[in-house]
Amino acid sequence: MIKFSIIGCGRIFKKHLKFFESSNKKKFKLVSVCDVDSKALDKIKTSLILKKFLSIDALIKQTNPDVVIILTPSGYHYSVFKKISKFKKHVIIEKPVALKSKHVEEMLKISKRNKTHLFVVKQNRYNLPIIELKKAIDKKRFGKIILATTRVRWKRDQNYFNLANWRGTKKVDGGILWNQASHHIDLLIWLAGSVRSVVAKSRKSLLKIETEDTAVCLINFNNGALGIIEATTAVKPKDLEGSVSIIGEKGTAVIGGFAVNKIENWDFIKMSNYDKRIKTSHNTQPENVYGFGHQLMYKDIINKLLKNKSNALEGNKILESVRVIEAIYKSINLKKEIFL
């Protein structure tokens, strides 16, 4: 039996809880949760029998989980991981892993030394259209990639940022590229290739927060392709788009909707019957921007822990996306192109 615990019971908590509520309990179970806010613990409604704690040390000592899931605000990920690491537990951590690449590098070294896994939540990699897009790229169906773009056009108004005092702060939230667009930037790099340089600008247009609500970035990929990142939380009146586009010498694909879950364009110079089918079969919109991927992600992680076949995503595979976001903010601050 693999025992799980969750640290942090905020906005994303319900998405993770849902997996354990809807799953077979013979091989694994959620045993405990922790939050510094007792009101957050009191609000938890579930059929599961969970022990609740205000202290990480108490949670681990009393329930002894095999895996700890970190769902705290981004700026606390590193310090919470350091606390957990002394107990040598496997860790699952929400995006971004940390707000500094040197912290991620240290976390990876600690995990290696402890012989534990550091898994990263990147649920959009499990979206069916994204899986098909990755297969097509790997099979060279696009030929030379010319342009790769991602657009995050969401609504996050002042009420959203007022929900918690850490939201919109540079130290804990990090900004739109860390908090909202990091999934999409990860997808762009995973699909289009490694990054040579970035140049970016940002604005705070509508909100009373420390960080920006809109940012744009031009990417030079090592394979010669250009890339564009467009991210804004200033959309009105509702979430509009979370998309990835690939334009190549032999075809074009756009995966959109508001959660990168809908095939909006899928055209190649040489089309097959399979291409025609997936254009209509992979268009299921999720209920919110978090999508469907958490279920598949957890199954992959559990298979990895049980030493079965698995594609579970570990921290070393997303280190470049952390470095890229760090470089984008450096470009914004220094007003110049940054080479990685």
State which CATH number among 3.30.360.10, 3.90.1150.10, 3.30.530.20, 3.90.1300.10 fits the domain covering 124-290+320-339: 3.30.360.10
pLDDT in tens, 258-275: 889 899 999 999 998 889
What pLDDT, on a 0 to 100 scale, did the predictor assign at position 100?
Answer: 97
Contact 244, 260 (CB under 8 A): yes
State which CATH number among 1.10.8.80, 3.40.50.2000, 3.30.70.260, 3.40.50.720 fits the domain covering 2-122+295-313: 3.40.50.720
pLDDT-derived band at 139 (thresholds 50, 70, 90) equals very high
- Residue 296: which H helix or E strand, with range? helix 293-305
Average pLDDT, integer, range 141-156: 97
Q: Which residue has the tokens 């240290």?
A: 106
Task: Name which of 123, 210, 164 is nearest 9 in CA terms.
Answer: 164
In the chain, CATH 3.40.50.720 covers 2-122+295-313
Contact 289, 154 (CB under 8 A): yes
Q: Enumerate the β-bridge partners of residue 3.
A: 29
| Cβ within 8 Å of residue 231, ≥6 positions away | 151, 152, 176, 177, 180, 181, 184, 214, 215, 216
Phi, psi of 336 (to 5 degrees): -155, 165
DSSP code for 239: -
pLDDT in tens, 25-69: 678 999 999 999 999 999 999 999 999 999 999 999 999 999 999
Task: Name which of 35, 34, 24 is nearest 2 in CA terms.
Answer: 24
